[in-house]
Amino acid sequence: MTVKLSTGLRNAMAGSIGFAGALAGGVIHVYSGPQPISADAAPTGTLLGTVTKDAGPFTPGVATNGLTFTAPASGGVTKSADTWKFVGLAAGTAGWFRHVGNNADDGSVSTTLPRLDGSIAAGTGDLRLSSTAIAVGVPVTVDVYSFQIPAQ
């Protein structure tokens, strides 16, 4: 499993905010290339697109078009019934993603911002897209996204 949690997200999960609360209304940035060493680090690769509700515009701090989750069940959450998608900003192959909360996250090194990094694939991976081949101006849909807290 290639999921990496930032210090800020781990602190939110250990406190009263929780996973879904820390990332509620946020977005997912999709990048080419390999993941950085940790979710506290600056992103690597090229930003290929930003996943929002129905590829709508997003402003940090505003809930409009931010991503939401289902109610927790069996220690996990999945993407809501909303359509999660983005429109390609650059051409490339999606390699990893960073899910950020609904706050200003400029991508610089941070141990306070909630972030989750993970792998991307069409049939497997932590985030499953309709296609990992990203083209400029072409919409891509998130097929599967979930997070499970292990019981042991």
Per-residue pLDDT at 48: 98
Integer Cα distance of 79 and 87 in angstroms: 18
Integer Cα distance of 138 and 66 in angstroms: 20
7: left (phi over 0), alpha (psi -120 to 50) or beta: alpha
Per-residue pLDDT of the chain (152 residues; tens, 9 = 90+): 478 999 999 999 999 899 999 999 999 999 999 999 999 999 999 999 999 999 999 999 998 999 999 999 988 899 999 999 999 999 999 999 999 999 989 999 999 999 999 999 877 778 888 889 999 999 999 988 988 888 76
Beta strands in 23-138, from DSSP E residues, in sequence order: 27-32, 47-53, 76-78, 84-87, 92-100, 115-121, 127-129, 133-134
Q: Is the distance from CB of 70 to CB of 82 less than 8 angstroms?
A: no
Q: Beta strand pairing status for 4-5 and 27-32?
A: unpaired
Per-residue pLDDT at 1: 46
Q: Is the distance from CB of 84 to CB of 67 less than 8 angstroms?
A: yes
Per-residue pLDDT at 36: 95
Integer Cα distance of 57 and 50 in angstroms: 10
